[in-house]
Amino acid sequence: ILKGDIVVVSRQGVGGNGEMVVALVESSYMIGYLHKEYNLFKLRFNNPEYSPIYLEKVTILGRVVGLIRNTIE
């Protein structure tokens, strides 16, 4: 996801294992891949500068279903 892109999200409160979701984490919106590991949720990001984060609870706002790439700058 690049600056200026539009992310298309299906509003739903759950995400399947490995799905890209929009999550609310400590008052910040994050887009990442959701994984369930043991008793924790892991959010993994495509950007290698960001390490995965592990959470006991996560608020899922929706599932990413598409992306509209902004080609005009």
> Tokens 């990413």 map to which residue?
64
Note the pLDDT of residue 29: 94
pLDDT in tens, 4-55: 899 999 999 988 999 999 999 999 999 999 999 889 999 999 989 999 999 9
Note the pLDDT of residue 2: 85
- The model's pTM is 0.87
> Tokens 């369930």 map to which residue?
36
